Structure 1
Amino acid sequence: MAQESVEKVFSNNRRFSIPKYQRDYAWKKKNLDELWEDLEEAKNASSDSMGHFLGTIVVAKEPNSDAYYIIDGQQRSTTIFMLRYALNAKTKDPAWNMNIFRDENKELRLQVSPANQEFFKAVLTQADNNKRDTSLKNRIETDGQKRLYEVFEAIWDYVGKLESTEAKEYLSVLDKMVLMWLEEKDSGRAIRTFQSVNDRGVPLLLLDKLKALLILYSNKYSNDNGTLDNEINERFGEIFKIATKIRKHKLSSSLGDREFAKEVETRVFNYHALGQADIGHYRYGAAESFKKIKELLKSKTKNPQELLEYIDTYSNDLLEFFKAFYRVMQRTETSAEAFKLLYILRINPLFYSSLVRLEMNGVLDDECLRLLAQAEVFFYGCYSTNDSRAYNLYEATDSKNSFRERIIQECKKCAKGDYSSVGDVLRDIARDNYNWGKYFRYLFFAYRCDDMDARAFNDLLSSDDEDDNGDSSKTMQPYDMEHIVPLNVVENEALERYGFDNANEFNAIKDDFGNLLVLESKLNRKIRDGGAQIKKEAYKDSKIPYNRNFANTLESFGKKRIIEENEKFTQWAREFFKDFLC
């Protein structure tokens, strides 16, 4: 361990590479702005000997090479390399110093991830040409490339306007700034060191810490010359790539809560932990699950072989879980049942572990998806919560039959608010649906729209505004529960027109299933409490086929139809939930 100047770190004929298992380049403009502030502060300091500290870099020698893997500090190192490259390009004779940026083969002395290397070269070429290349935006394929482009753009905002003497002065100051250099003889040991080092700038993800933890134990107790270390590295590299796909998928904004898309790695890690008897619990968050993994690893050190087998099995299972989670998301594009489950009903995340395990075990199909939806209705739709039952379903995911038997059994036994049985729930299932929220929406689509396929359901999605990363997602556009017979029918003295004798008669069934539709919010706002003709035109504009067909029968709608529809829906519900009846 030693303090070294930036110049010594990067100008000593060293070559660097970012291991492919590392997460992508993640710094943003604000991180570059902070680095530039440090540079300005050092430039204005009264003494060049202040040794302004920039952070830590943890490295390990590549096998059979004079190059170094950057185990920790890739964000800082990559940014410093770009900043030095840009400053050098603005000096009077940039070619004179080019050997500190390129080797004898004219390759850059810093190799970022293989997926980004060619783009990285193109970004730096802007400095060589002394002008921006906005066409690079059209070449961006990864999050890392997007960040590289944006950070270099911010660098050029500072550097592009400098005269050659100013650029040389800034470069000289930057070269005198200090990095803490920690070098280990192999990646495993370097990652163990990395565990105890704080990485300034972008906080470490929980999965970064988990990877380091697993390699720490693997490296300490294994004598396989790093074979398991490399397996763990490869697996986490794949996990990070899949996490990016999950975050970018249009379903991500409809999963979990509002923070899911920002915390994909942490959330999916915890959903996986929920299916691990020795780690997860329905009351645990990700931090507590991580703590349990640390305790479990420590407890297995008395038997190194068992410890290593566990690490191997666990890391591989985590990778397969991420893969299966993404496949489940993709099902919404081809399966109407998956769409209704995840977009419309938006089941409790405590079901995710069993949902993904079913996929991993090759038994997830439309029947299983429907069973999970039915369980959501009984576990949470009857004004009760059954978290432990939802969580424990993962125990029966080895086969469809065992899962089916378990979920039916749990639904029969679960708390159901004021109801004592499934039969009692179904007896009143058509009553007061307005307060059922998403459960009404799901049952409406299951009952009224059984002929809609996945493509038709996906047409119901709408694009959200772009997020902070410039990504756009799709989610269910806002839908309201629309009263077919308007709520102002009493004050408008129109009860007789709809077949009601008095206000009490109307109030008794106004919120029942038979008097409700699911309608796009924008259409519902146009209707307000309008009459039949206004409603008819709005229903015809709906993307929901049932609404368009129903519009043609609106003139004859009233009390009689509401009662008839309630009865039909109740009969359908008894058939839909027949396996759950005692």
Structure 2
Amino acid sequence: MQPESTSLGDLFCRRIPFKVPKYQRAFDWEQEEIDDFIKDLLVLYNARKINPSQPRKHFFGGLVSIKQHIPNSYTGNLYDLVDGQQRLATFTMTIASLVKAFESLANEAKVEKDTETSQAAQSYASTTRDEYLEYKEVINNQLQPRLRLTLSKADNVFFEDLINGRSPKGSRDSHKKLQFAWDSIRTNLIAKILNDISKSSVSDKLNSLLQLRKSVIEDCYVIYIVSEDRSEAYRLFAVLNDRGRELSDGNKLRSDTLELLEKHEREQILAEDNWDTILSYPATEVEQFFRNYYASHQGKGAAKRNLADTFRDDIFKFPPGIVLEIAETEEAKKLSHTISDIKNEQQVFIEIS
């Protein structure tokens, strides 16, 4: 496992496709993280605008993935993204927004009969999409485009609809956060840059978008760590997460139980679906429900701290970091049933509330 310093553009070109595994939480960046992300990109853009020959660089943290060999696929590999989905999802939305901005500018130049700028803008839209946003996969003996990043089951359809301009219908808290991130990038980054030069020619606008494109794909870099050992990658993720934003209690329990069911695919799928429903509400509401659920089943209140650990020990009754063996079928069914019960009781709790 060798750490590697790489630009975002180089990462997306060489290491694809990325997929968020089912253990990981849904998209969770709040306004503060999105605002900081946009401010960082504007600093890089302005540095290039002032002196293109001396661009600034910005470090966006570490990414960890597990490399899997996928026979008969076009790329041959798949990278499970253990740590870094929030950043890669936000960068993907930024690249998609750039593609749409190039396309809009191509249309604007066409209306103004500036054929050269129109063709150049359309060319940059196509190359940016092909090199950084999508890759080709063989489906039914035909090459078809696929996003270079696949989010978890709860978010991926909404995420793909956003990227492809299909007006997604959101039902989860994470969907609202994805929509907010998408709108903020298009308004506070792309539109801000274009509005600052609104009276300039379409050629000048294209140059500004190209400076931003370079800032995103060349000036943003990460420390990328790839492993073929799942347990090694998750140990590293635990260390990195201790230094970052803490997982919610619900997401901790989701991760622990899905890992516990790793050798029981049917029960794991059922549990994953139920967790997606349970965690579709804001984290504060989920925690309030967990505390009420715990008290109703244990006859006492849960500890103020370490709610997830207390819940796991007393409700699920298993220690952390284990996997149920194939022969432990009844235990797997019992765990899946408990998660289903939690989901059903949450619906009643919400109606009462």
Partner of 1:262: 284
From the superposition, tell whether residues 237 and 292 of structure 1 become closer, same or farther in structure 2 (CA, over 3 Å).
Answer: closer
| TM-score, length of structure 1 as denominator length | 0.43
Alignment of 1:165-314 (within 5 A): 165-175=207-217, 176-198=219-241, 203-210=246-253, 227=263, 234=269, 237-244=272-279, 247=281, 262-265=284-287, 268=290, 271-272=293-294, 282=301, 284-287=303-306, 290=309
Partner of 1:98: 129
Equivalents in 2 of 1:234, 1:265: separation in Å? 23
Residue 342 of structure 2 is aligned to residue 325 of structure 1: yes
Partner of 1:68: 79
Does the 8 Å CA contact 1:58/1:190 hold for their aligned counterparts? yes
2:146 to 107, 122, 144: 107
Greater relative CO (CA pairs within 8 A, separation 6+): 2
**CA-CA distance at 1:197 after TM superposition:** 1.0
Equivalents in 2 of 1:156, 1:313: separation in Å? 50
Equivalents in 2 of 1:95, 1:289: separation in Å? 46
Q: Structure 1, residues 455-503: CA drift from partner, whole Å, max 9, x if none? A: xxxxxxxxxxxxxxxxxxxx5xxxxxxxxxxxxxxxxxxxxxxxxxxxx
Aligned Cα root-mean-square deviation (Å) = 4.3
Length, aligned pairs only: 297
Equivalents in 2 of 1:236, 1:197: separation in Å? 26
Q: Which has the higher strand share?
A: 2
**CA-CA distance at 1:60 after TM superposition:** 1.3
From the superposition, tell whether residues 282 and 113 of structure 1 become closer, same or farther in structure 2 (CA, over 3 Å).
Answer: closer
Does the 8 Å CA contact 1:55/1:199 hold for their aligned counterparts? no
Spell out structure 1 runs of 4+ moving beyond 4 A: 44-50, 199-202, 210-216, 230-236, 269-276, 280-283, 291-294, 311-319, 329-333
Does the 8 Å CA contact 1:54/1:177 hold for their aligned counterparts? yes
**CA-CA distance at 1:95 after TM superposition:** 0.9
Residue 159 of structure 2 is aligned to residue 159 of structure 1: no
Equivalent residue of 1:197, what SS?
A: helix
Equivalent residue of 2:82, what SS?
A: strand
From the superposition, tell whether residues 18 and 83 of structure 1 become closer, same or farther in structure 2 (CA, over 3 Å).
Answer: same
| TM-score, length of structure 2 as denominator length | 0.66
Equivalents in 1 of 2:186, 2:4: separation in Å? 31
**CA-CA distance at 1:31 after TM superposition:** 2.4
Unaligned runs of 5+ in 1: 127-132, 220-225, 249-260, 334-338, 344-474, 476-582
Equivalents in 2 of 1:160, 1:274: separation in Å? 51
Equivalent residue of 2:164, what SS?
A: helix
Residue 90 of structure 2 is aligned to residue 79 of structure 1: yes
Equivalents in 1 of 2:233, 2:130: separation in Å? 28
Equivalents in 2 of 1:6, 1:60: separation in Å? 18
Does the 8 Å CA contact 1:26/1:144 hold for their aligned counterparts? yes
Partner of 1:7: 9
Partner of 1:17: 19
From the superposition, tell whether residues 291 and 326 of structure 1 become closer, same or farther in structure 2 (CA, over 3 Å).
Answer: closer
Equivalent residue of 1:53, what SS?
A: strand
Equivalents in 2 of 1:331, 1:267: separation in Å? 10
Unaligned runs of 5+ in 2: 71-75, 103-120, 137-143, 195-204
Does the 8 Å CA contact 2:29/2:86 hold for their aligned counterparts? yes
Equivalents in 1 of 2:308, 2:174: separation in Å? 29
Equivalents in 2 of 1:122, 1:292: separation in Å? 36
From the superposition, tell whether residues 326 and 116 of structure 1 become closer, same or farther in structure 2 (CA, over 3 Å).
Answer: closer
Equivalent residue of 2:64, what SS?
A: strand
Equivalent residue of 2:306, what SS?
A: helix
Does the 8 Å CA contact 2:66/2:226 hold for their aligned counterparts? yes
Q: What is the letter of the counterpart of residue 181 of structure 2? A: V
Equivalents in 1 of 2:44, 2:37: separation in Å? 11
2:64 to 51, 58, 61: 58
**CA-CA distance at 1:71 after TM superposition:** 1.9
Equivalent residue of 1:241, what SS?
A: helix
Equivalents in 2 of 1:212, 1:118: separation in Å? 21
Equivalents in 1 of 2:39, 2:208: separation in Å? 16
Higher alpha-carbon Rg = 1
